[in-house]
Amino acid sequence: MTDITLSPYFHPTTVCFVDDNESFLNSLDLELPTDWAYRTFVDPVEALAFLNEAPPRAPLAERCFSADEGNHSVIHVDLNLIEQEINFCERFRRISVVIVDYSMPSINGLDFCAQLIDPHIRKVMLTGVADEKIAVQAFNAGLIHRFIPKNHPHARDTIINFVSELEEEYFGQYSAQLQNSLAINPPGFLVDEAIAVWFHALIEAEHVVEYYFVTEPPGFLLLRGNGSMLRVVILDDSQMAAQRDYAANFNAPAKVLEAIANRERLGVFDGDSPTHYFGDETFPWEDNLLAVTRITGTRTWYLGISSDPPMDIDFDPTVASYDAYLNKNGG
């Protein structure tokens, strides 16, 4: 089975720090990136209570399954489900990474990690010189995912790098859960490295913080921190041919048919289609076409980007965007 190169979805999460050294925790406000959501705890018992609270909603990966006629589990992600998800601001509260000190008076870091209920949380242990042998053994045994010596000269940079890696791993676990379902009728661009490289470059260039796989038409919905959206449509040759036939069936202008046939434009008809137009009304074909970028990987892909997605999504960025979450919760 091919590994999924792109996670079907991703959004910012919260990092949790647990250390009985209050001055260390206070220093994090000056050292960590300003666009991080994080919680700090001096008391490990209080931290465990927080981390082991039942989540208010199951992860998206556990809510997007349906069954086909053959009783196979298949992934089903539509705009209604995504609308529900992006309006649930508490999605950002989900803990992906815990960074815990090994040497604490009431409980050591390993025992703390052993008491975490959520198996998906990635665990990093801070160690003193005397604890490094224990940390190596714990890492080799799979009890923790990383460890950082507290006296390391670049501990801050190491924390930032580890959190970035582990947040990706966190979502990768849900990708693995979806893998069998996607394997039934996989959207090939999720497993194409060429698409992944292009997509991650787009995320960086457009300052995207979260994204969601969409099925109709196939591609992604992307959101910046302020809640503004992008829509990426990704089609192969057979899907482009189907779009041309679709347009021809509704008597699209010749120049539209030619642009699609020549792979210069592709259509995105979210919330709008020729079937909604009657009488003398003319469907605005040009407004529903995107310029094509061609990417060659395992096959040839045709990508279109809309900076103003024509989708019927009810979303209030002042309440449910990542920036709104950070403003409300103070990082």
Q: Which domains does the chain have, with CATH numbers?
A: 9-184 (3.40.50.2300), 192-331 (no CATH)
pLDDT given for residue 331 in this prediction: 61
Tell me the residue type at 162. Answer: F
Count of alpha carbons within 13 Å of 180, Cβ hemisphere only? 6
Residue 317, token pair as written in the block: 């960025």
**256 vs 22, 143, 284, 285, 287, CA distance in Å?**
64, 58, 11, 7, 11
CB of 63 closer than 8 Å to CB of 83: no
User: Which pLDDT value is given to residue 277?
Assistant: 60
Any idea what DSSP says for residue 102?
S
Instruction: Report how far apart, in Å, the C-alpha atoms of 283 and of each of 153, 175, 264, 269 are.
Output: 63, 38, 20, 11
- What pairs with residue 303 in β-bridges? 234, 293
pLDDT in 10s for each residue of the chain, 331 residues: 345 578 888 999 999 999 999 998 998 888 899 999 999 999 999 999 999 998 888 888 777 755 454 544 455 566 778 888 899 999 999 999 999 999 998 899 999 999 999 999 999 999 887 788 899 999 999 899 999 988 788 888 999 999 999 998 898 877 666 655 555 555 788 889 999 999 999 999 999 999 998 877 889 999 999 999 999 999 999 999 999 998 898 888 999 999 999 999 998 875 556 666 655 567 888 888 999 999 999 999 999 998 876 566 788 999 999 999 999 886 6
First to last CA, the chain: 39
Q: Whole-prediction pTM value?
A: 0.86
CA distance 202 to 133: 42
Residue of 202, 229, 204, 219 whose CA lies nearest to 308: 229
- What are the φ/ψ torsions at residue 239 (nearest 5 degrees)? -70, -35
Beta strands in 138-288 (DSSP E): 146-149, 208-214, 219-224, 229-235, 265-267
Dihedral pair phi/psi, residue 214, rounded to 5°: -125, 145
Overall residue count recorded for the chain in this entry: 331
Residue 204: CB partners within 8 Å, gap ≥ 6? Answer: none
- What is 287-308 written as a DSSP string? GGEEE-EEEESSSEEEEEEESS
What pLDDT, on a 0 to 100 scale, did the predictor assign at position 241? 95
For 190, how many CA atoms within 13 A lie in the half-sphere containing its CB? 25
Q: Are the C-beta atoms of residues 17 and 163 closer than 8 Å to each other?
A: no
Tokens 């020729």 identify what position? 274
Place of tokens 């792979």: 263
- Distance CA(15)–CA(97), nearest Å, equals 5
Q: At what angle do helices 237-249 and 254-261 cross, to 10 degrees?
A: 170
pLDDT digits 0-9 by tens, 57-83:
888 877 775 545 454 445 556 677 888
Show Cβ contacts of residue 250 under 8 Å, excluding neighbours closer than 6 positions: 274, 275, 283
Q: What is the pLDDT of residue 89?
A: 93
Max CA separation in the chain (angstroms): 81
